[in-house]
Amino acid sequence: MTEFGECTRSWLVAVLLLVALGVFPVRPAVAGTDEATGIYTLECDDIEFHGAEFVTVEFDHKSLRLIGVRGNGKRFLIGQATPKHQMVGIVDDADCKGNRIFVTVKQAFHALYVTQEFVWNGKQLRQVKSRMQDFSRDAIEAALDAALSGQMDQARLELGNVMYPSRYFGCWAAADVLKRGHHASLRRLKSGGLSATITALGNTIDLMLEIHKELQEDELATLFNTAVPERWQKVFHDCEMPQEVYISALNDYGYLLQLAHRNDEAVTVLRSVIAERPDRAVAYLNLGDALWQAARHTEARSSYAIYVDLMRNGGKAARIPAATTSRLRAQGGMEVRP
């Protein structure tokens, strides 16, 4: 070994000894999480503090701490803040920019990311912003938007972007999509027209089928080969969905079909509503109107008669449409008291 090599080796040994003795502080080599403690450490070059050789950030979901490291390696707390969202997960990204610290945490087994922003003003560390983004929920929302716009193929493509579907698909998700899609469909009646509204509501209920649970392609094919409304009712009942969630949507769908003079379809849907809710007066009115348009006047009068009885018994006789009363009286129909 040359004299230069011997000197170099001696110098390295001396440096390592000084580091071991704490004379030289050791900077974190790479930002990351310590598996033993669960603490994520990141060096902040942009933040300086009197008496600190350098400053690091420590984050463990319950708190974010600024740690100063002295020239002799000793550590001391500079500032501390409690995150607004103390979510258990994995630190996906973290950064220091100027006096601001950004930490993004991904929730375990979900597609939810929470980015929290902290600021150090030289005396105090505090949180200033928090932003949440759930990519799977975004995909479901995009699927619903596509379905409402009449693009079911695109809706299915969007559902393919859902990560961890077992966490996002389920009866609760089906009920949520049905409720929101039902209201959104009816809002389209003025702007999009009757046909577009019927498509939007029908697609919404079909989308519900695809997210009520994880289904294989053959299971979906079998379900979609079943006629409306039977395929919808299967999910309503399998999920034990509250009637107030789906009966209104079914009745409105039947009513829209009747307005569009798609009478046979309307009759089928409205009779399914009455089978489950024989006390729903408006369903008998809508059914009577569909039957009347189909020139099935005798059946229509029977439906109208039940509607009138329900309205009268409910103290709502004044709200019975004049056309309904007229049709009941016409051609020897039953007499209706005003």
* Exposure of 123 in the CB half-sphere (CA atoms within 13 A): 0
Are 142 and 150 in contact, with CB atoms under 8 Å apart? no
Which residues, including other chains, have CB under 8 Å from residue 43's CB and lie 6 or more apart? 27, 28, 31, 54, 55, 56, 57, 96
pLDDT (0 to 100) of residue 9 = 55
User: For 8-61, what is each residue's pLDDT tens digit?
Assistant: 455 444 444 444 444 445 555 457 888 888 899 999 989 999 999 999 999 998
pLDDT (0 to 100) of residue 276 = 96
pLDDT (0 to 100) of residue 218 = 84
Q: Which of helix, strand or coil describes residue 170?
A: coil
Give the pTM.
Answer: 0.82
pLDDT (0 to 100) of residue 159 = 96
Q: CATH 1.25.40.10 region(s) of the chain?
A: 138-332
pLDDT (0 to 100) of residue 4 = 45
pLDDT (0 to 100) of residue 221 = 85
* Residue ranges of the chain whose pLDDT lies below 70: 1-30, 331-338
pLDDT (0 to 100) of residue 6 = 53
pLDDT (0 to 100) of residue 293 = 97
Percent of residues, the chain, with pLDDT higher than 90: 77
Strands, sheet with 100-107, edge to edge from the N-terminal-most edge strand: 89-97, 100-107, 112-120, 125-134
How many whole angstroms separate alpha carbon 220 and alpha carbon 233? 15
Instruction: Look up the CATH number of domain 138-332.
Output: 1.25.40.10
